[in-house]
Amino acid sequence: MRTDELDFELPEELIAQVPPRERGASRLMHYRREGRVLEHRMFSDLPGLLRAGDLLVFNDARVVPARIVLRKNSGGRVEGLFLAEESRGVWRVLLKNVGAKWQGTPLRFEAAEQPGAKVIGKGQGGEYRIEVDSPEPALVLLSRVGRMPLPPYIRRGKERDERDGLDRERYQTIYARQAGAVAAPTAGLHFTEELLAELAALGVGRTFVTLHVGLGTFKPVTAERLEEHAMHVEAYTIPPEAAAALNRAKADGRRIVAVGTTSARVLESQPAVEGFEAKTGETGIFIYPPYEWKHVGALVTNFHLPRSTLIALVAAMVGLNEQRRAYREAIERRYRFFSYGDAMLVE
C-alpha cells in the first residue's frame, strides 16, 4: 500500500487548539461497516450506540508533565523532553540547543529555586542523559518544573504558562493511573464520570490496560510504501483482572470495544486463539490494510494526522475508500481534528 493514499488536505482552522468547554461535549461520527452507514451525533449519544454486554477496553496511562526548560550558565535556553528515569537522578531526555561541547554542560531548571543538572551522555537523535542534583524521584520534580507535552500541532506560544493548568487537567483522561506516557490516549479524553456510570447501568462493561504512549505516535510515515515503515515500540501491561474480563467476553461471544488506537494495538498484539494472559511486554504492531482483526469488534477513536500509523489503523478497520469518505465528510461538516478534537465510533 502506498503511503500517499493516506494523505488528505486539512484546513488549519480545524485542528483543535483547546478542548471543548465541557469534557464529553464533543461531536461523534458513527460509522457502521454493515451497510456503510455514516451518521453524525454527539459523544453523549454513545450509551445508545453500544450494546449491553459490550466490553470497553481503556488505556489508563497517565501523561507525565515531561516538557522542561533549562538554562545554561550563559543564560541560553535549552528545551527538553523527559523520556525516562534510568536510576535515581539520572534521566534520559531529548534536548535542543545543548551545543557541540555537551559533555559536562551545567544546566539549571528555568523555574526559580529548582535544582541544577549536568549532561553526562549522548545518544541518537537528540537524546541525552542528564544527572539531576535532587533526591526527589523524577515524577515528583516534574510535577513542579514540567509542562504537559502537547503535540506539535497544538500551539501555545506566550500563553503556554497560563494554559498549562488547563492542559494538566484536560490532556489527561479521568481514569489515568499509570504514569509514564508522553502523549495522551486521546480517545479517552471524552469520557466523564457521568457517562461511565450511564454505560455501566446499561450493562456495558469496562476494563483497563496500560500502554505508555511515546513520541513515535506523532511520527509521520516517510517511506513510500507502508510495509517499509519502521514502527515505533511501546511498553504495555495487561493486568490479571483485564485478562480475566477479556477472556470472559470472548467465551461469551460478547463484543470487545477498544477505546483508542493504543488499546487496540495492545489487544491485537495478543495471539488469535490462545486466551489473554496477564503480562507486561512491548509491542511494535503496525496495523494497516489489509488486516484481519483478531479481537477488536469496534473502535472509539479521534481523527488522526495524514500519513500516520493511526489513520492507517482506521483504514484497516473500515477500508481505505471508506476512511477517505468519512474524513472528507468530517472536513465538510467542520469536525475538530486531532488530540483535542472530535471522535469517531467504528462498528
Bigger pLDDT: 215 or 280?
280
Dig out the grid coordinates for 336 from the structure.
475538530
Could you read off the pLDDT of 48-99 as tens digits, one per residue? 999 999 999 999 999 999 999 999 988 899 999 998 899 999 999 999 988 8
* pTM score above 0.85: yes
* 155 pLDDT above the threshold of 90: no
- The hierarchical CATH code for the domain 3-63+171-346 is 3.40.1780.10
Q: How many CB atoms lie within 10 A of CB 333?
A: 11
* 159 pLDDT above the threshold of 80: no
Domain ranges of the chain: 3-63+171-346, 67-146
Over range 27-37, report the average pLDDT. 96
Sign of the Cα torsion 215, 218, 221, 226 reads: positive
- The hierarchical CATH code for the domain 67-146 is 2.40.10.240
* 162 pLDDT above the threshold of 80: no
Q: How far apart are CA 307 and CA 305, in angstroms?
A: 6
Q: How far is CA 164 from CA 65, 79, 137, 144, in A?
A: 10, 16, 22, 12
Over range 290-297, report the average pLDDT. 97
Q: How far apart are CA 23 and CA 30, in angstroms?
A: 19
Q: What is the pLDDT of residue 160?
A: 60
Q: What is the pLDDT of residue 297?
A: 97
* 112 pLDDT above the threshold of 70: no
